[in-house]
Amino acid sequence: MIDLVIRAERACDPGSNYFGPAIIGIKNGQIVLFHKGFDLEVAALETISYHNEIVAPGFIDLHVHVYEWVTNFGVSPDKAGIFSGATTVVDQGSAGPWTVGGFEAFISKPSVTDVRCFMSANLAGALMGGMEGTTLHGPQMTRIEEIKKAYKRYPKLICGIKSHGESGGMSHWDTDVLKQAVMAGEECDLPLYVHTGELFPVADENRPAPESVVEKAIELLRPGDILAHVYSNMPDGVIGSSIEVPKYVHAAFKKGINFDIGYGINFSYRIARMMIESKLPPTTISSDLHGDFNAYHDFSKLDYSLAGAFNRLIGLGLPIYDAIKCVTYAPASILKSSHEIGTLAEGSTADLTILDQRDETLVMSDAEGHKLQIPGALVPIFVYKNGKKFETDPNMFPDLS
C-alpha cells in the first residue's frame, strides 16, 4: 500500500521533460510512482489533490551561507532550506578543510533540509565573511593536500570547491589561489564555484583592470565549473560596465561553464536582460542567502529570497518550465545527484516543492533601483522532505510580500 498519492494537475518534472497532469506515489520517503496523466487508479493511505498549484521536484538552492554561529552571517539551515521552499541547500565556502567537520556535525546532520557544501579552498572557510580576506584567502592558507584529505573524509557532504575571481584577491596574489583550487578540483574530480565581483580589500597599486578580472578567471576554468553572480552589476563582474556581452563570456558558455545567479545584493535587470537576449540564460538560480557581513547574526537587512530570484527571472522572460529546471534538475546534475533529487522519477527521494500562483501583481526592484512588474508570483507554500509535509515560512519571502 502506498503511503501518499498526490494528484497534480500541474506537475513539472524537467528531468523527463514533462509539464502536465500526473499522479505521484510516495512510500517510505521515496517516490515509487510517477504516472503522467490521471488515467490510473491507485490505492493509498492518503490522497491529496493539487489543482492550480504547481508540483515540482524539491527546489535546490545552490548558493546559501548556513554555517550559523561560526560565520557571523550564517543563516539557520532549515530557514534557508525547507522554510524557504528548498529541500536541498548548498553552502558556498563557509567551511574550509579545517572547519568542515564542525559543519557536518552541527549544521548538516541535525537539519531536516538536505545540507551540502562547496568547501572553501582556504583552510578556515569564510569566518567573518571575507572581511579579513587577504589573511584568510591567500595562497598561504590554501593547501591542496588538506582539501583532498577533507574530501576523502566527507565525500557525500562536499560537492565542490569554492574559490574567487575578483579584484581584491587578484590585486594581492593574481590567480595563484584560483590555480590551486583548479588543481585540487582536478585531483578530487570536483567542480569549482567561483565568486565574481569585488569582495576582498584591494591593493590599489595593483588593482587589475576591471574588464580583465573575469576573463583571467575563465581562462583557468573547466567545463562543469560554475561562475557565480553572472547578472551582477559589479564593475569587475561577468559583464561589468560593458554595453555588450564580452566575447569571453560567450566562449565560457560554449565551453560548458555553468552560469549561476547567486542573487545576493548586486543583481541587475539591465545585465540580466542583456545576457538573456544574447542567448545566455542561467544554468541555475540560487539565492546567496546570508546575514549582514558587518554584524553578528543580524538578518534585519535580508530582503531577498530564492523564490524572489526565481520570480524575477520569470518576470524577465525566462519560461516557467526553464526556471523550475534551474532550481531542480540543473543543480542536481551539478551535484551529481540527479538520480535522487531534483526529479520526480520513480526511485528518487520524495522531495517536492508546491508552488501557489498568486493573483496580485508585484513590483520588484533590483540593485540599481529599476522596477519590474511580476504578475501572478509563484510562491512556495509547502515542501515534502522525504515524503513528510512542511509549511514554508512567509517571513522567508520578504520580497514577495
Decide: 115 and 141 in contact? Cβ < 8 Å. no
Q: What is the CA radius of gyration of the chain?
A: 20
What domains does the chain contain, in order, with CATH numbers?
Answer: 2-56+348-400 (2.30.40.10), 58-334 (3.20.20.140)
What pLDDT, on a 0 to 100 scale, did the predictor assign at position 129?
62
CA end-to-end span of the chain: 41
What is the tens place of the pLDDT at every residue in 261-305? 999 999 999 999 999 999 999 999 999 999 998 899 999 999 999
What is the tens place of the pLDDT at every residue in 2-60? 999 999 999 999 999 999 999 999 999 999 999 999 999 999 999 999 999 999 999 99
Quick one: which of 255, 201, 268 has its CA closest to 227?
255
% residues pLDDT > 70 (the chain): 99
Residue 173 has pLDDT above 80, yes or no: yes
Confidence of residue 135 (pLDDT cuts 50, 70, 90): confident
What is the tens place of the pLDDT at every residue in 91-129? 999 999 999 999 999 999 999 999 999 999 999 999 876
Do the bridges between strand 18-27 and strand 2-13 make them parallel or antiparallel, or are there none, so unpaired?
antiparallel
Confidence of residue 131 (pLDDT cuts 50, 70, 90): low
What pLDDT, on a 0 to 100 scale, did the predictor assign at position 328?
99
Q: Where are the alpha helices (DSSP H) in 320-364?
A: 320-326, 329-334
What pLDDT, on a 0 to 100 scale, did the predictor assign at position 188?
98
What is the tens place of the pLDDT at every residue in 179-192? 999 999 999 999 99
What is the tens place of the pLDDT at every residue in 233-268? 999 999 998 999 999 999 999 999 999 999 999 999
Decide: 295 and 254 in contact? Cβ < 8 Å. no
Distance CA 26, CA 124 (A): 41
Quick one: which of 142, 143, 163, 160 has its CA closest to 151?
160
C-alpha distances (whole Å) from 308 to each of 85, 88, 147, 208 are: 11, 17, 34, 33
User: Residue 204, Cβ neighbours under 10 Å: how many?
Assistant: 7
Angle at 103 between CA 297 and CA 192, to 5 degrees: 100
Quick one: which of 238, 194, 231 has its CA closest to 214?
238
Across 334-338, average pLDDT: 98
Distance CA 255, CA 222 (A): 8
